Copies of this chain bind each other. A is one copy, B any other.
Amino acid sequence: MGANMARRLNDRGWHLAAVFDASPAAARALASELGCPAASTLAEVTSRAEIVITVVSDDAAMREIFGLAGGGPGLLENADGRLFINCATVSPDIHDKVAHAAKAAGALSIEACMASSITQARGGTLFLMVGGPAESVAVAAPVLSDLSSMVVHVGDTGDAAKAKALVNMVMNANTAALAEGLGLGVALGLDPGMLRQIFSKTGANSRVLETDGEDMQNRDHACYFSAAHAAKDSRIALELAARAGLRLPVAEAAWGQFQRMVDCGLGELDKSGVAELTFPGRHPQPD
C-alpha cells in the first residue's frame, strides 16, 4: 500500500523527501524507482519530510515506529512542526497514544484509514476515513485529496479507526457468509455461477459478491486483503465490542473463520480464500 501511495504522490508532482521500509532493500528499490532518497532510520524520515505518511501492519509496528515500545523516539525524534498521517488499520487506542506523543513532540498527527486496496492506492482513488482535530485535517487535506476519490472526516482521533474496524468487521462477515452460501450451493449440486447471478438480484447481494464471488468459485486467492488482516481487523472490532458490553455472534463466527485460516496456514491467501473452508472437498471440515 505504502509503495503505491508513494507512486501516486510522485505522479501528482509531490516532492518525495524519503521512503522507508522495515526491509532496507525494499526501501532502496522503491527509492531507486522513484528517484528519491531511502532513509536508513526513522529519524532520518522525520528530518527530511514535512509530512510523514505511515502504513504499518499492526499495533506493535505502530508502537515501534512512534517510540511507544521503548527503544528510542523513532519518527518522533526532532518532530517539531511535522504532520503525521497514519493510514494503517490499527486499534483506535493506538491512534490516541500516537496523537498524544506527537503533540508532546510538537507535531500534528491524524489517522487516515483506507477502505480500499492496492489498486485504489495506485490510482489515487482511495476512500479515506479521517480522524483528528479539524486544524490538523486541514493541513493534511491537499495530500489526502491526491490519494483519494473521497474523504470523510469521521470525528476526533480514534473515531476513523473505529469506523474502519466496523467496515472490515461487516465486510469480513459478509465475505464469510458468501463463502458459506456458494459452498453449500456447490454441495447441493447448484451451479455457482448461476447462484452468484441469483444472489446479485436479491437480498443476498453485496459488494463482496462483486469483488470476491468469482474468485471463491475459481479458487483465485491472489492477495488484495489477506485473511490474516481480516482476522486482525475483526478482532479489533470485537475487542471494542467486548469493552462496550456487546456480544456480536455473527462477527465472532466470521473472525473464527479467518482465524482458522491463519491457524491452518492459509492466512496469506486473500480473504476470498475463506471459501477454501466452506466449499465441499477443499479443506477438512472442523469437528
Q: Chain A residues in contact with chain B, CB under 8 A? A: 115-116, 127, 129, 150, 152, 154-155, 159, 162-163, 166-171, 173-178, 180-181, 183-185, 187-190, 194-195, 197-199, 201-208, 211, 237, 240-241, 244-254, 256-257, 278, 280, 285-286
Contact A198 B286 (CB under 8 A): no
**Cβ 8 A contact of A174, one of B177, B241, B278:** B177
Contact B248 A184 (CB under 8 A): yes
Q: Output the least CB separation between A115 and chain B (Å).
A: 4
Query: Contacts of A205 on B, CB cut-off 8 Å?
Result: 206-207
**Cβ 8 A contact of A246, one of B162, B170, B187, B199:** B187
Query: Contacts of A183 on B, CB cut-off 8 Å?
Result: 246, 248
Query: Contacts of A159 on B, CB cut-off 8 Å?
Result: 188-190
**Cβ 8 A contact of A152, one of B198, B244, B254:** B198
**Cβ 8 A contact of A154, one of B167, B198, B241:** B198
Q: Output the least CB separation between A220 and chain B (Å).
A: 17
Query: Contacts of A189 on B, CB cut-off 8 Å?
Result: 155, 159
Q: Output the least CB separation between A253 and chain B (Å).
A: 4
Nearest-CB residue, chain B, relative to A211 = B203
Q: Output the least CB separation between A245 and chain B (Å).
A: 6
What's the Cα separation between A127 and B207 when bound, in Å?
A: 20
What's the Cα separation between A93 and B166 when bound, in Å?
A: 39
CB within 8 Å for A163 and B190 given contacts A205-B207, A257-B250: yes
Contact A173 B177 (CB under 8 A): yes
Query: Contacts of A280 on B, CB cut-off 8 Å?
Result: 244-246
Contact A240 B184 (CB under 8 A): yes
Query: Contacts of A167 on B, CB cut-off 8 Å?
Result: 181, 198-199, 202-204
Q: Output the least CB separation between A160 and chain B (Å).
A: 9
Contact B253 A250 (CB under 8 A): yes
CB within 8 Å for A249 and B240 given contacts A169-B180, A204-B171: no
What's the Cα separation between A166 and B278 when bound, in Å?
A: 13
Contact A180 B184 (CB under 8 A): no
Nearest-CB residue, chain B, relative to A271 = B203
Contact B162 A190 (CB under 8 A): yes
Contact B163 A127 (CB under 8 A): no
Query: Contacts of A181 on B, CB cut-off 8 Å?
Result: 166-167, 169-170, 251
